């Protein structure tokens, strides 16, 4: 459990699963800290205590320990426009839809104060929302996930889009390649998600304290295993038979890392995902094979249906070409 106060002091209780961790590793897992190097700097500066006493970075925490971290206030962040070659498949005076390339962080955050999608869009009059470092951002994609995002150009549009998102009125469709074959052609994963008890920067399916998360999927193609079928057939091979499956995934909710965690939880991690999937990238994807391919929503001002699609980027299409040519 983590608590924070208005003076920037974090208090973290050590859970049973975290017993025995080094102090620097333990606090590095807090999203507010973010790295082992940052953790060690705080410890060296005397800003970390365990049970009220300063400890060195090698100290092993125990169950029930209260770790207090005094986090210095962040330096003032000044947003400046940056030149980026971005594809904008839809835009009008109220909003735009951008096709985010893989490798770009959506908005500024710890460790990413330049080079984000927000920096690349500042020259396009994006605005809206309470966070001045995330102007216009309605929802986000992970750094190594490509595809479509909606960005607002004024406060009212941002408010309406955010409300539509919370009410599940924005249809978000993804394409992803996962490990293994399926016994059924489509399905739904309903499992609450929360912070992983051991690795606090990761998410996990959790029984207590998690938030509702629902993911729908449909098998489009599959490769490997004697009974795997193509686009027009029925996939009946066991998930233990190996191979790969291309899925169309629709989000009913939008939790952090939802698709990646849900699919890994049922034994079908996203190909190329070294965090929640296999450490070895057998297909040479180079990142998680996950692409936001379609957005469908009602325009908050005009009421018309906006339906935007984005094809797979070349790096992911090349992986499919190799599988199809086997």
Helices vs strands, H then E, count in the chain: 6, 16
Q: CA–CA separation, 210 vs 168, rounded Å?
A: 19
What's the pLDDT band for 161 if we cut at 50, 70, 90? Answer: very high
pLDDT digits (tens, 9 = 90+) for 165-188: 999 999 999 999 999 999 999 999
Q: Do 144 and 194 fall into the same domain?
A: no
Q: Do 120 and 43 fall into the same domain?
A: no
- Whether 309 maps to a domain, the answer reads no
Q: Do 96 and 117 fall into the same domain?
A: yes
Contact 23, 50 (CB under 8 A): yes
Task: Write out the two tokens for 274.
Answer: 């070294």
What's the pLDDT band for 73 if we cut at 50, 70, 90? Answer: low
Q: CA–CA separation, 325 vs 316, rounded Å?
A: 15
Q: Give the pLDDT of residue 226.
A: 42
If you average pLDDT over residues 5-19, what whole number do you get?
Answer: 78
- Whether 244 maps to a domain, the answer reads yes
Q: Do 280 and 177 fall into the same domain?
A: yes
If you average pLDDT over residues 264-278, what whole number do you get?
Answer: 95
Q: Is 142 noted as a catalytic residue in this protein?
A: yes
Q: Give the pLDDT of residue 227.
A: 41
Contact 313, 291 (CB under 8 A): yes
Burial class (CB in 10 A: 0-12, 13-18, 19+), 17: exposed
For residue 48, give its domain range.
2-70
Kindly tell me if the per-residue pLDDT of 70 is higher than 70.
yes
> Active-site residue among 65, 99, 142, 273?
142
Kindly tell me if the per-residue pLDDT of 225 is higher than 90.
no
User: Residue 63 sits in a domain of what CATH number?
Assistant: 3.10.290.10
Task: Write out the two tokens for 265.
Answer: 């939880």
Q: CA–CA separation, 140 vs 248, rounded Å?
A: 19
């Amino acid at each position: 459990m983590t608590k924070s106060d208005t003076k920037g002091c974090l208090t973290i209780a050590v859970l049973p699963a975290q017993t025995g961790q080094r102090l620097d590793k333990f606090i590095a897992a807090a999203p507010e800290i973010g790295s082992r190097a940052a953790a060690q700097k705080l410890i060296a500066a005397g800003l970390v205590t365990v049970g009220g006493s300063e400890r060195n970075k090698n100290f092993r925490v125990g169950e029930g320990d209260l770790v207090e971290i005094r986090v210095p206030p962040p330096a003032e962040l000044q947003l400046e426009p940056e030149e980026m070659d971005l594809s904008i498949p839809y835009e009008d005076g109220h909003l735009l839809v951008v096709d985010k390339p893989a490798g770009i962080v959506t908005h500024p955050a710890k460790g990413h104060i330049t080079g984000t999608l927000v920096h690349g869009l500042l020259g396009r009059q994006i605005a809206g929302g309470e966070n001045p470092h995330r102007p216009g951002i309605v929802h986000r994609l992970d750094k190594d996930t490509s595809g479509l995002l909606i960005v607002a150009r004024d406060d009212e549009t941002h408010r309406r889009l955010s409300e539509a998102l919370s009410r599940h009125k924005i249809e978000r469709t993804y394409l992803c390649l996962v490990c293994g074959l399926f016994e059924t052609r489509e399905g739904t994963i309903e499992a609450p998600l929360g912070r992983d008890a051991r690795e606090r920067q990761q998410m996990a399916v959790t029984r207590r304290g998690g938030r509702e998360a629902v993911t729908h999927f449909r098998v489009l193609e599959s490769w490997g295993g004697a009974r795997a079928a193509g686009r027009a057939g029925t996939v009946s091979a066991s998930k233990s038979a190996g191979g790969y499956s291309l899925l169309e995934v629709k989000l009913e909710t939008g939790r952090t890392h939802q698709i990646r965690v849900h699919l890994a939880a049922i034994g079908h991690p996203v190909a190329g995902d070294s965090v929640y999937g296999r450490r070895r990238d057998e297909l040479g994807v180079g990142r998680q094979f996950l692409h936001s391919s379609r957005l469908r929503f009602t325009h908050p001002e005009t009421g018309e249906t906006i339906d935007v699609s984005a094809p797979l980027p070349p790096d992911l299409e090349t992986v499919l070409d190799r599988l199809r040519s086997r």
